[in-house]
Amino acid sequence: MDLLITAALIAALFVLLGSGLWIGLSLLGVAWIGMELFTARPAGDAMAVTIWGASSSWTLTALPMFLWMGEILFRTRLSEDMFRGLAPWLERLPGRLLHVNVIGCSIFAAVSGSSAATCATIGKITIPELERRGYPDVMTIGSLAGAGTLGLLIPPSIIMIVYGVAAEVSIAKLFIAGVLPGVLLAALFMAYIVAWSLLNRDRIPAADHATTLAQKLHASRHLIPVVLLIAIVLGSIYAGVATATEAAALGVVGSLVLAAAQGSLHWKSFHESLLGATRLYCMIAFILAGSAFLTLSMGYLGLPRHLAEWIGGLGLSQFGLLAWLMVFYIILGCFLDGISMVVLTIAVIQPTIEAAGIDPIWFGIYLVLVVEMAQVTPPVGFNLFVLQGMTGRQMTWIARTALPFFLLMVVAVALIYVFPGIITWLPARMVG
């Protein structure tokens, strides 16, 4: 009977999602059906209480602040300045300016938190510049698709905030835990670019001209503002002097100062950034509210307990469980965006993870890595959508260029499994 109820609710959810109904409304609708038809508790009262509780969380306050910070910086000359500051240092490295995609996305990810925003912001300056200089499109677009996903992993990360709220895990520890895996993934991307460039020397244009050390240092002045902002946001969390929410407020103030210093802060850009952040936050908050009610409904139906018992009965090892979950999330990512994937599944998956003895901080970073893969898998890969809009290329072609970087993410997942300290070492040393 429980299996039939579960199957009926899942079918109802897919019908509602397939009809084009908003994800938040779909979640609320399915949760209401489940509670009204299959439990004794009044659905209306439970929905009101749950939505209010999910929407009034103090921890969730960090989310709109980081979104606003990213929107403000999106409208500055940050990406252009990063290109000018980084390019002279890369002239002797195989692949040369292709590495600007990876390093630029890594830097912007540390002040953005959004994969799509990172991909679009860096891409709008590097794509025309690399095309003008004769770099191959297959590597320009592929490296940008892959490196853009660093916006999810390198803190501050929107999806880490969503996971932290849903799983009741410290967001500050999640942020710090994402630093080394983010560096690892960026290093893997750069290593692949180096290897590809050594095998295809004739396709990489020669350096325009050699620059002296003094010229490189002078060009690096363009990196100072963003490095200071990263130091303020992440340093305050790591030192224990600010919570994630307080660090987000510092980030907003810092980004406003940076925009003003660059001459990008005026009423129109301020209004657009605030409106953009509000729209995005309302969408995410609505999904989280629907997910919270669905979690409550599923709890009354006993679905998480039954699923945990079923998976536990399979006798899977930790490795087997994580391998199957990776496949599951990659398939799910073909149809849903990352935030929806997390909020739809975490209530059901979390008891299973706890029963398997997996550290919730470690699992949060693992989950972000797996969701990153979904950003470059068609048909609902957000980074693919962004790049298709910017380049006019076919989605299938962009997906093919991103495939090597997708496989490198699989390698990163294997490495954090074999060496879990990559994730857990820094959080264990946090102050406070």
318 Cβ contact partners less than 8 Å away, ≥ 6 residues apart: 356, 357, 358
Q: What is the Cα–Cα distance from 121 to 112, expressed in whole angstroms?
A: 10
Q: Is residue 53 part of a domain?
A: yes
Q: Is residue 3 part of a domain?
A: no
Would you state the pLDDT for residue 209?
Answer: 66
pLDDT for residue 389 is more than 70 = yes
Would you state the pLDDT for residue 260?
Answer: 87
Q: What is the Cα–Cα distance from 139 to 126, expressed in whole angstroms?
A: 12
Q: Is the dihedral of CA 255, 261, 265, 266 positive or negative?
A: positive
pLDDT for residue 195 is more than 90 = yes
In terms of Cα–Cα distance, which of 153, 157, 139 is closest to 101? Answer: 139
Amino acid 423 reads: I
Amino acid 222 reads: H
Q: Is residue 8 part of a domain?
A: no
Q: Is residue 2 part of a domain?
A: no
C-alpha count within 13 angstroms, C-beta hemisphere, residue 369: 35
Range of the domain at 348: 38-205+213-429
Would you state the pLDDT for residue 380?
Answer: 58
CB 109 within 8 A of CB 241: no
Say if residue 156 is preceded by a cis peptide, omega within 30 of 0. Answer: yes
Would you state the pLDDT for residue 334?
Answer: 67
pLDDT for residue 21 is more than 80 = no
pTM score, two decimals? 0.76
Q: Is residue 10 part of a domain?
A: no
DSSP code for 144: H
- What is the tally of structural domains in the chain? 1
pLDDT for residue 184 is more than 70 = yes
CA angle 175, 177, 181 (to 5 degrees): 110
| Minimum mean pLDDT range among 191-195, 196-200, 350-354 | 350-354
Burial of 52 (0-12, 13-18, 19+ CB in 10 A): exposed
Return the SS3 of 428: helix
DSSP letters along 241-308, please? SS-HHHHHHHHHHHHHHHHHHTT--SHHHHHHHHHHHHHHHHHHHHHHHHHHHHHHHHHHHTHHHHHH
Q: Name the percent of the chain lying above pLDDT 90.
A: 14
Chain segment 333-343, per-residue pLDDT in tens? 766 667 777 87
| Minimum mean pLDDT range among 60-64, 101-105, 255-259, 264-268 | 60-64
Q: Name the percent of the chain lying above pLDDT 70.
A: 91
Determine phi and psi for 42, rounding to 5 degrees: -60, 125
Q: Is residue 306 part of a domain?
A: yes
Q: What is the Cα–Cα distance from 165 to 57, expressed in whole angstroms?
A: 8
For all residues of the chain together, what is the average pLDDT? Answer: 81
Q: What mean pLDDT comes out for the span 243-255?
A: 84
CA angle 364, 368, 370 (to 5 degrees): 115
pLDDT for residue 396 is more than 90 = no
Would you state the pLDDT for residue 305?
Answer: 63
Amino acid 396 reads: T
Q: What mean pLDDT comes out for the span 40-68?
A: 77
Burial of 261 (0-12, 13-18, 19+ CB in 10 A): exposed
Determine phi and psi for 135, rounding to 5 degrees: -75, 145
Q: What mean pLDDT comes out for the span 325-346?
A: 76
CB 151 within 8 A of CB 105: yes
262 Cβ contact partners less than 8 Å away, ≥ 6 residues apart: 76, 77, 78, 225
Q: Is residue 18 part of a domain?
A: no
Would you state the pLDDT for residue 290?
Answer: 79
Q: Is residue 12 part of a domain?
A: no
CB 233 within 8 A of CB 254: yes
Q: What is the chain's alpha carbon radius of gyration, rounded to the nearest angstrom?
A: 22
Residue the block writes with tokens 């998480």:
304
Q: What is the Cα–Cα distance from 76 to 255, expressed in whole angstroms?
A: 9
Q: What is the Cα–Cα distance from 287 to 98, expressed in whole angstroms?
A: 37
Say if residue 420 is preceded by a cis peptide, omega within 30 of 0. Answer: no
Would you state the pLDDT for residue 421?
Answer: 92
